[in-house]
Structure 1
Amino acid sequence: MLLEFIAILAAGFGLAGLVLSLNIALRRRLPQWVVPASAGAGMLLMAIWLEYSWLDRTTGTFPDGVEVASTNQSRSWYRPWTYVVPLTNRLIAVDHRFDRRHADMPGQVLTRVILAGRWEPTRQYGVVYDCTAHRRADLLDQVQLDEAGRLRNASWIQLAADDPVLRNACGR
């Protein structure tokens, strides 16, 4: 967050410096308000770029085997440009490097889910997806796996058959 703030300030000073240099080259023919306006425009444009590039910058750090299953897009009145192009501010990814299947329960897959959001800490947790019954169980402290591959003390959450995270987890 601090680095993005510094980048926004640098963009404002940089664009203002360019316009000031242009004004000097034009022998001060531009109006006086152009330099501070260009500083504000530079900061605004940098902030917008940082917001819209968040998803690509975040997913670019994911290792092979991590796939984005779902994203959340938002629109805000205080960001009027988001009505033209919605802003992606959260994602759910499935880390297939941790996929495990039990021989006695072939319709279930144990995997790791990653939740990431703009200005939020990234969270990871284990999940068992039941691909045939379209449900999921989060692996919390009280959940145990018995010898037959069944979960004990699990709270199953029913999902839609076309849930994107369920389809991603069960697709392999």
Structure 2
Amino acid sequence: MFLELIGTIFAGLAVAGVVMLVNRSTGGRLPRWLAPVAAGLGMLGVTIASEYSWYERTRAALPEGITVVQEVENRAFYQPWTYAVPYVSRFAAIDTASVQTNEQVPGQRLVDLYFFGRWSPVSKVPVAVDCDGLRRANLADGVEFADDGSVSNADWVVVPADDPIVDATCGVAS
């Protein structure tokens, strides 16, 4: 975040410098207020470009085996351009290499689900997925495993057949 702030400030200074050079080369015909306005617009442009490119840069840097399963687009009243073109500010991904199965309970799988946010640290949540029953549960406090390996005391959430987490987890060859 700090480096992005420094980059934004330098972009503003660079744009203001270009306007000052153009003003000097035209014999001072440009209005005096143009350099600070151009600097502000340059900083705003760099900030907007950074917001819109964050998701693609982050997704491209993910290691192999990490599959994005959900994206959250952002719109804000203080960023009116986001109503025309929203940007991705958060997303969830699973680690397909972490998918675990149990021969005694072949329809259930365990997987690590990661949550990425623009200005947030990455969070990891282990999730149980019931491929046959189309449901999933976060493996949080109180969840236990029965003797046969099945998950007990979990808060299962029934999901639609096209749930991206279930699709990505159950589609992994075990």
Give, in angstroms, the shift of residue 74 of structure 1.
2.0
Give, in angstroms, the shift of residue 17 of structure 1.
1.0
The answer to whether 1:92 aligns with 2:84 is no
Give, in angstroms, the shift of residue 145 of structure 1.
2.5
Matched residue, 2:14:
14
Give, in angstroms, the shift of residue 41 of structure 1.
0.6
Unaligned runs of 5+ in 2: none
Matched residue, 1:131:
131
- Residue 29 of structure 2 aligns to a residue whose secondary structure is coil
Q: How many angstroms apart in 1 are the aligned matches of 2:60 and 2:6? A: 22
Please, what is the CA RMSD of the aligned residues? Answer: 1.4
Unaligned runs of 5+ in 1: none
Matched residue, 2:164:
164
Amino acid in the other structure paired with 2:72: N
Q: How many angstroms apart in 2 are the aligned matches of 1:13 and 1:165? A: 45
What are the superposed Cα offsets for residues 54-104 of structure 1, whole Å, 9 maximum, x if unpaired? 101222221100011110112222111112111111101011111111112
Amino acid in the other structure paired with 2:76: S
Structure 1 residue runs of 4+, over 4 Å off? none
Matched residue, 1:104:
104
Residues 92 and 165, structure 1, Cα contact 8 Å, conserved in 2? no
Q: How many angstroms apart in 1 are the aligned matches of 2:24 and 2:39? A: 16
Amino acid in the other structure paired with 1:75: R
Give, in angstroms, the shift of residue 147 of structure 1.
4.1
TM-score under structure 1 length normalisation: 0.93
Q: How does 1:57-76 map to 2 (within 5 A)?
A: 57-76=57-76
- Residue 92 of structure 1 aligns to a residue whose secondary structure is strand
Amino acid in the other structure paired with 1:70: Q
- Residue 121 of structure 1 aligns to a residue whose secondary structure is strand
- Residue 72 of structure 1 aligns to a residue whose secondary structure is strand
- Residue 120 of structure 2 aligns to a residue whose secondary structure is coil
Amino acid in the other structure paired with 1:119: W
Aligned residues: 172
Q: How many angstroms apart in 1 are the aligned matches of 2:147 and 2:17? A: 69
Q: How many angstroms apart in 2 are the aligned matches of 1:102 and 1:151? A: 11
**111-120 vs 155-164, which deviates more?**
155-164
Q: How many angstroms apart in 1 are the aligned matches of 2:27 and 2:171? A: 65
